[in-house]
Amino acid sequence: MQKIAFIFGTRPEAIKCAPVINAMKEDPRFEPIVIATGQHREMLDVALEEFNIIPDLDLHVMMPGQTLSQVTHRIMEALSRPLSELDIDAVIVHGDTASTLAGALAAFQHRICLVHLEAGLRSGNIASPFPEEANRRLVAQISDLHLAPTSGSAANLIREGAPKDRVKVTGNTVVDALRWAAANAPAFRDGPLADLEQDERRIIVASAHRRESWGEPMKEIAAALSEIANQDDVRLIVPLHKNQLVRDIMIPALSHRANIDLIEPLPYRCFCRLMQRADIIISDSSGAEEEGPSLGKPTLVLREITERPEAIEAGTARLVGRCASRIVQEVRALLRDEELYRRMARPVDAYGDGCATMRVLDAIAEFLQYPRACDLRVA
């Protein structure tokens, strides 16, 4: 049985690793160990609870006002003991966060086989998104096995020199998580969304939180949402990220507005139900870029560049930037033009077919049989 340690700390990592962790629990080839860094404390805990996952170890690294360097340093230091003592066969990190980079470096320094899930995404600009593009490129340099969600991300890795036999296309596990959540989502019975199913207005789900949107761009996004809400037949639902920089702009600009519900982040299954009910999704979240198109929801991406071009190429998502007038124009076009709406409202399998988890498990099992991977470990 192979002992596999998952190291992650944010909500999206938990959601995307959860199907793999839960499948490993049922698979006699593996013994999963979950090490949570606590990078997104509250939102991480809610996401893990949804999937019934209790971390084996919680590093509790977050302290108020920490810099990126301090977070990275504290995660690496806290990992030192468990990685020395737990006799781990492989570490899995996901994506591109500070937890990903710190977990990957710690595994490398302990000479433990490193598996990178959601590998090979590239915006093409090392400085944007910051620091995620650099994080994922750095992790690729030291990974033993690259699990790429799409053929495009696999091609990026091979172009950069990753050995072909160490790159596997698995699909993105977010689609597995999404299908499970959408099938198991509870109806809204109380709270601000209790009337959602009966509401005849067009529902727009909007969110923004990423670093590039902080400050002026966030004000533009808020101004756009406010303008769109002037239309009587639309209702905007905005789950607010826990980041105070987001709240400081969104709350004064959008609270007490007719047609806008500013709400707390929802548990994953509830959020999936909300996306299912939505007519349009507007967001700078990477998760929305994948989940919206997978559900067949026209998705307007509030970014200048993306490392997830597949849904844009498939026509279900559009990159619209963060200028208020452009966002308003794009939303109005979708609300008015039935043909445009119909063209974009097609579910696409651009990121996966819902069977990524089994491919991930098989790729890891196969890879760990290679003597070279096991030889990396120090006795």
Catalytically annotated residues: 96, 118, 132, 209, 211, 241
- In the window 222-241, what residues touch ligand UD1 (CB under 6 A)? 239
Tell how far CA 365 is from the center of its chain: 25
Q: Which of 4, 13, 18, 294 binds ligand UD1 (CB under 6 A)?
A: 13
Give the range of 5-13, 27-35, 54-62, 243-251 binding ligand UD1 by CB under 6 A: 5-13
Question: Which is nearer to ligand UD1, 30 or 271 (by Cβ)?
Answer: 271
Question: Which is nearer to ligand UD1, 13 or 220 (by Cβ)?
Answer: 13
Give the range of 57-65, 90-98, 151-159, 165-173 binding ligand UD1 by CB under 6 A: 90-98
For residue 322, state whether it binds ligand UD1 (rule: CB under 6 A): no
For residue 72, state whether it binds ligand UD1 (rule: CB under 6 A): no
- In the window 249-268, what residues touch ligand UD1 (CB under 6 A)? 265-266, 268
- In the window 200-219, what residues touch ligand UD1 (CB under 6 A)? 209-210
For residue 11, state whether it binds ligand UD1 (rule: CB under 6 A): yes
Cis peptide before 131 (omega within 30 of 0): yes
Least Cβ distance, residue 366 to ligand UD1 (angstroms):
24
For residue 149, state whether it binds ligand UD1 (rule: CB under 6 A): no
For residue 51, state whether it binds ligand UD1 (rule: CB under 6 A): no
Q: Which of 4, 7, 15, 78 binds ligand UD1 (CB under 6 A)?
A: 15
The span from the CA of 4 to the CA of 92, in Å, is 7
* Number of residues counted as binding ligand UD1 (CB under 6 A): 22
Q: Which of 74, 94, 273, 322 binds ligand UD1 (CB under 6 A)?
A: 94
For residue 12, state whether it binds ligand UD1 (rule: CB under 6 A): yes
Residue type, 16: K
Strand spans (E) along 96-154: 113-117, 145-148
The 101-140 contact track toward ligand UD1, x by CB under 6 A, reads ----------------------------x--x--------
Give the range of 6-14, 17-25, 57-65, 144-152 binding ligand UD1 by CB under 6 A: 6-14
DSSP classification of residue 370: S
Cis peptide before 129 (omega within 30 of 0): yes
CA dist 310 → 6, 131, 269, 272 (Å): 27, 22, 24, 21
Please calculate the CA angle 114-13-60 and round it to the nearest 5 degrees. Answer: 90
Q: Which of 96, 144, 176, 220 binds ligand UD1 (CB under 6 A)?
A: 96
Beta-carbon contacts of residue 130 (< 8 Å; ≥ 6 apart): 211, 212
Least Cβ distance, residue 85 to ligand UD1 (angstroms):
27
Backbone angles phi, psi at 109, to 5 degrees: -70, -25
For residue 6, state whether it binds ligand UD1 (rule: CB under 6 A): no
The span from the CA of 143 to the CA of 213, in Å, is 30
Question: Which is nearer to ligand UD1, 96 or 144 (by Cβ)?
Answer: 96
The span from the CA of 181 to the CA of 114, in Å, is 29
Helices 173-183 and 286-294 sit at what angle, rounded to 10 degrees?
Answer: 60
User: 37: closest CA among 103, 135, 105?
Assistant: 103
DSSP string, 207-258: E---GGGTTHHHHHHHHHHHHHTTSTTEEEEEEPPS-HHHHHHHHHHHTT-T
Beta bridge partners of 254: none
Q: Which of 55, 149, 287, 293 binds ligand UD1 (CB under 6 A)?
A: 287
Q: Which two tokens stand for residue 367?
A: 């890879």
For residue 220, state whether it binds ligand UD1 (rule: CB under 6 A): no
Question: Which is nearer to ligand UD1, 163 or 347 (by Cβ)?
Answer: 347
DSSP classification of residue 126: T
Q: Which of 30, 51, 180, 271 binds ligand UD1 (CB under 6 A)?
A: 271
Least Cβ distance, residue 370 to ligand UD1 (angstroms):
27
Beta bridge partners of 203: 235
Dihedral sign (CA 17, 270, 214, 39): negative
Q: Which two tokens stand for residue 226?
A: 């406010």
- Residues near ligand UD1 (CB under 6 A) are 10-13, 15, 94-97, 129, 132, 209-210, 239, 265-266, 268, 271, 285-287, 291
